[in-house]
Chain A
Amino acid sequence: MKKKVGIYICQCGPNIADNVDIDKIIESVSAFNDADDLEIVAKPYGLLCSGEGKDYLKQEIEENGLTHLVIGACSPRDHNNTFIGVCKETSLNPYLYKLINIREHCAWIIHDKDKATEKAIQYIRGGLRRVLYQSELFENKLDTNPDVLVIGGGIAGIEAALSLADADRQVFLIEKTDRLGGKAATFKTVLPKQQDAVEAIQLKIQTVQDHPHIQVMLNTRLDRIIGFLGNFEAEVRSIDDAEKMTELKIGAMVVASGFSLYDASTHPDFIFSGDDEVYTALQIEQMIAEKNQVTTRSGKAPKSVAMIHCVGREEVGYCSQICCNAMIKLAARFKTQSPDTTVKVFFRDLCLPHQDDQAFYNEIKAQGVEFVRVNRIATEGSQIKFTTMDENEGSELFDMVVLAPAMIPADGTPDLATKLGISLHETGFFQEAHQAINPVATATDGIFIVGTAHGPRGIQATLLQAQAAASKIRVQLIPGEQIVPEVRVSETLEAFCMGCKTCLEVCHYGAIVFDEDKGISVVKEAVCRGCGNCVGSCPSGAIQLKHFTNPQLYQEMIEAVQ
């Protein structure tokens, strides 16, 4: 078939025209005759991104019956979308167009006009060669399911479920234990302002249970998932009855599987048994919630309490962010219970990163809680040995010792990650898509991570993440609206694939599966993000990325390296 390529060079006012000889470019590309059945239309234009420029391009495409389009202009960052938009309003498939940046790459940076022109010619001729090898791609629209599976019935899962159900999404909430509320439901008061939490959290639990759009499934775990954003299928199984499997169709998932605590008894510096007066902060919280007072094992109120921060922090390799605050809250509780109680807090760094935290700390300090900054600390039962920052050593016996062990990923986190096909951070918590600008998403579209499954955090931050994930789902999956998956994705060339499975290992998105019958890798197009990792790793050249195939890149390079 005869190809007719339109090449339009934008003068960009004086920006390109003054520093690049556009007539020479036109002359050079018009003489291009390295392909058969090729006709070239090459023209300069004043300002292609202007309204008149866009209309001009549309007219040129239609009147000349162009089969391909090359534009020499500015950075794709500025106007690639502009010209894709132009193509979309014509009969030209936008994947048969190429924008070449001769402004930032030539006109603006090379002061010698001849050299700038020479480089611009190479670039444009490269674009011309490339575009001849480009293929039409068609964006598919897919129907989506707006419903959501929430994994974990703690405060994070509850909040996500409520936010979504209130937006009329059907929510399936699975919880592996026999009750909702997680660890937060056992707290009497919550940070940062010591609000009474019991009522607020119980209200949320009740609302979840009564909500017409939420189906709560207790004693249930996830078995497997398949699919992609908008079209997942999940199998969940009853923990009590292995025969009881339910298949759910959903569009997205929120992982809110919570945390565990570092086992302080495994730490060589903290030697204690179940008989000693040594407790974790969480045990004290539960004691307060159960009987509204803190007593020793013999039932007496402690007269002296040591509180030890950062237990296991060095071992796990991160700060758990909320323990300082939680310990200060408990120190306050001891003082309320009996103002005469001696409370000593042993810490290395105080981490109080929210605006209300330090005021609370100052208040507790004023109530007579003593804060001791230590370099080293060890316990043997409730006998404490420590070294202060000025290298003084101390040893004291207390009625009660409260430890703040690091928060660690919940049991079963690696297994859940495998089932979901999402990555873990080196600390063992789930890995977010981007630490700063996409914090609750994962590398897999449609799977979100919130709360302490994401990393150590308090209730306020947990609620925010749960709400954030719900918002993202709300915006990404609008009932009745279709989604358009990326079309520049990988594809396997069956004849070349040797079945080595290297590509499965390098894919971050779980987008490649192995077809056992054929013995080859197959790309799930709707999951693939087009990163190209698999292309680079394939030893037999059996995977190519659409719109970035080797022949396309090679053609462009021929001119560039001349």
Chain B
Amino acid sequence: MSFSNQVLVIGAGIAGMEASLMLAKSGKKVFLVEKLSLIGGNVIKNEESFPNLECSTCMVAPIQQAVLQDPNIETMTLSTVEKIDGDVGHFEVSVLKKARYASMTDCIGCGMCYEPCPVSLSNEWEENLGEKKAIYVPTAGSLPNVPAIEAEHCLQLSGKKECNACVEACMFGAIDLSETDEQMQLEVGAILLATGSDLFDVSQLTQFGYGKYPSVYTSIEFERLFASNGPTLGEIKIRNSDRQPKAVAMIHCVGREEQGYCSGVCCMVSLKHAHFLKHKLGDVKLFNLYTDFCVPDKTHQKFQKNIIEETQSIFHTSMKDIKVTEADSVLNVAYIDAKGKEASLNVDMVILAPAIIPGKDTEVLSRIAGIETTEIGFLGLKSGGLSTVETAREGVFLAGCAEGPKDVQSSVTQAESAVGGMLARLSSLTS
């Protein structure tokens, strides 16, 4: 017997959601497994996305809603895949579904439960720029709009102290502290891995002063700082202060040499940030320190030109030995310029554009899925030929940044392509 009417998609970012919707439309029952409590992936962390500068959450929310409302898609949040046995047509998958402690059917997302919770935690989803309670949604507008409880921090669940605050605050009886983690077995015919990526840890490169100086940010931190649903509600204020930056340096390609590749999207992200700063602060001096401008799409160079014109950013290329130091809240960015001379800039904020690197669970996932990783550590396609979505394990496919750094367009395209690959493989089993 084959399970060719059921498929598994791991990762509910833009690639996983697009693939799930298409697979569901073609009549497959889709299990969509997501490790976080919300779906949407990294795209929804962006206030606006390039090149159209459109609101990312508005762009993605209809897709998230469609996924959650699709009767053929079973979205499993707070879940991780632990084991994949069997082979194409007959995969048996073990999934650990962690308790959410709030009912997906009874909760209406009113948010009455957060306020009385006495435990405040750093909010990782907000790049630790903000706080959350032990019962939380990561950000305003999270979908599903149902909170989850971090059991290890909840007073009651961790056994630290008796507390029933959230349960009492809920008018719908939607919170159930007796819920337990569930071990689930899924039977599927094909699997798509769409687990996304992480960013290079810039604190490794001490010359950039990240972690040491509060006014040095990564691009994703800045994205949340600018976001209207972010921790500062979009006010650009330097960490631990009330100051708005008057001069900002954007340093491209952080980690490119260490990782050994260009991530292909960071130039566009830095340009977008220049636009954000100019648009919101008006009077701000902007510097871009870059090696190569990589703007590889029919729309991108025009975007670059427009942003340069709008922001009057100053560009420095071919620098070497960049070093960031701080004195009296002023950051000094020193470097050797194209002519080999020492030069420097004084700014009050630095935004680093880190390389896109394999997600931290990628290696574990590759072992569970029984596929190779590339030399760099992304999930690997089947070698030889002209493979685009297939892995060496039959019936296991890849899409999005799990396969390598990509922009939204390329992630969506690969997801759409993978759907065809999965459908073709499954129909060859039944015919």
Interface residues in chain A, defined as those with a beta carbon under 8 Å from any beta carbon in chain B: 12-15, 47, 49, 74, 77, 81, 163, 166-167, 190, 195, 197, 200, 313, 317-319, 321, 349-359, 362, 373, 389-391, 425-427, 429, 435-440, 455-456, 459-461, 463-465, 467-472, 474-476, 478
Residues of B within 8 A of A456 (CB): 296, 298
Q: List 28 A-B contacts (CB under 8 A).
A: A13-B108, A15-B108, A49-B108, A167-B424, A197-B386, A318-B295, A318-B298, A352-B262, A352-B292, A354-B404, A391-B339, A435-B51, A437-B18, A437-B408, A439-B413, A455-B297, A456-B296, A459-B386, A464-B389, A464-B413, A467-B388, A467-B420, A468-B412, A469-B416, A471-B22, A471-B423, A474-B419, A476-B25
Residues of B within 8 A of A461 (CB): 410, 413
The smallest beta-carbon distance between A270 and chain B, in angstroms, is: 20
User: Which chain B residues in 50-65 approach chain A with CB under 8 Å?
Assistant: 51-52, 59-61, 63, 65
Q: Which of the listed residues A200, A350, A353, A469 has the most CB atoms from chain B within 10 Å of its own CB?
A: A353
In the bound complex, what is the Cα–Cα distance between A229 and B263 (angstroms)? 37
In the bound complex, what is the Cα–Cα distance between A478 and B60 (angstroms)? 26
In the bound complex, what is the Cα–Cα distance between A459 and B388 (angstroms)? 10
Residues of A within 8 A of B385 (CB): 195, 200
Interface segment among B94-102, B234-242, B299-307: the answer is B299-307
The smallest beta-carbon distance between B125 and chain A, in angstroms, is: 21
The smallest beta-carbon distance between B166 and chain A, in angstroms, is: 15
Residues of B within 8 A of A14 (CB): 110, 112, 171
CB <8 Å contact, A439 and B296? no
Residues of A within 8 A of B389 (CB): 464, 467
Interchain residue pairs A-B with the least CB separation, the first 5:
A353-B264, A471-B420, A468-B416, A321-B296, A467-B417
CB <8 Å contact, A357 and B14? no
In the bound complex, what is the Cα–Cα distance between A350 and B318 (angstroms)? 12
CB <8 Å contact, B262 and A358? yes
CB <8 Å contact, A351 and B261? no
CB <8 Å contact, B297 and A475? no
CB <8 Å contact, B388 and A463? yes
CB <8 Å contact, B409 and A436? yes
In the bound complex, what is the Cα–Cα distance between A471 and B424 (angstroms)? 10
SS of B interface (majority): loop
CB <8 Å contact, A464 and B108? no
The smallest beta-carbon distance between A124 and chain B, in angstroms, is: 20
| Residue in contact with B172 in the complex, picked from A13, A350, A389, A455, CB distance below 8 Å | A13
The smallest beta-carbon distance between B105 and chain A, in angstroms, is: 8
CB <8 Å contact, A468 and B378? no
Q: Which of the listed residues B18, B264, B296, B317 has the most CB atoms from chain A within 10 Å of its own CB?
A: B296
CB <8 Å contact, A435 and B409? yes
B423's nearest neighbour on chain A, judged by CB, is: A474
B23's nearest neighbour on chain A, judged by CB, is: A475
| Residue in contact with B301 in the complex, picked from A163, A318, A435, A437, CB distance below 8 Å | A318
In the bound complex, what is the Cα–Cα distance between A167 and B65 (angstroms)? 30
Interface residues in chain B, defined as those with a beta carbon under 8 Å from any beta carbon in chain A: 14, 18, 22, 25-27, 49, 51-52, 59-61, 63, 65, 69, 108, 110, 112, 171-172, 256, 260-265, 292-302, 317-318, 338-340, 374-376, 378, 384-386, 388-389, 404-405, 407-410, 412-414, 416-421, 423-424, 427
| Residue in contact with A13 in the complex, picked from B60, B171, B295, CB distance below 8 Å | B171
Q: Which of the listed residues A81, A200, A351 has the most CB atoms from chain B within 10 Å of its own CB?
A: A351
Q: Which of the listed residues B292, B317, B385, B421 has the most CB atoms from chain A within 10 Å of its own CB?
A: B292
CB <8 Å contact, A357 and B414? no
CB <8 Å contact, A317 and B302? yes
A-B contacts besides A14-B112, A319-B297, A468-B420, 20 pairs, CB < 8 Å: A15-B108, A200-B385, A351-B295, A353-B262, A354-B404, A357-B262, A358-B260, A358-B261, A359-B260, A390-B338, A440-B416, A464-B389, A464-B410, A464-B413, A468-B412, A468-B414, A471-B416, A471-B423, A475-B26, A478-B27
Residues of A within 8 A of B112 (CB): 14
CB <8 Å contact, B299 and A354? no
Residues of B within 8 A of A321 (CB): 296-297
CB <8 Å contact, B296 and A353? yes
Residues of B within 8 A of A362 (CB): 260
Residues of B within 8 A of A167 (CB): 420, 423-424, 427
The smallest beta-carbon distance between B26 and chain A, in angstroms, is: 5
CB <8 Å contact, B413 and A318? no
Residues of A within 8 A of B172 (CB): 13, 47
The smallest beta-carbon distance between B43 and chain A, in angstroms, is: 8
Residues of A within 8 A of B108 (CB): 12-13, 15, 47, 49, 74
CB <8 Å contact, B299 and A373? no
Residues of B within 8 A of A464 (CB): 388-389, 410, 413-414, 417
Known A436-B52, A436-B59; judge A349-B292 contact (CB<8 A): yes
The smallest beta-carbon distance between A171 and chain B, in angstroms, is: 14
A409's nearest neighbour on chain B, judged by CB, is: B298
Residues of B within 8 A of A472 (CB): 22, 416
In the bound complex, what is the Cα–Cα distance between A81 and B66 (angstroms)? 10
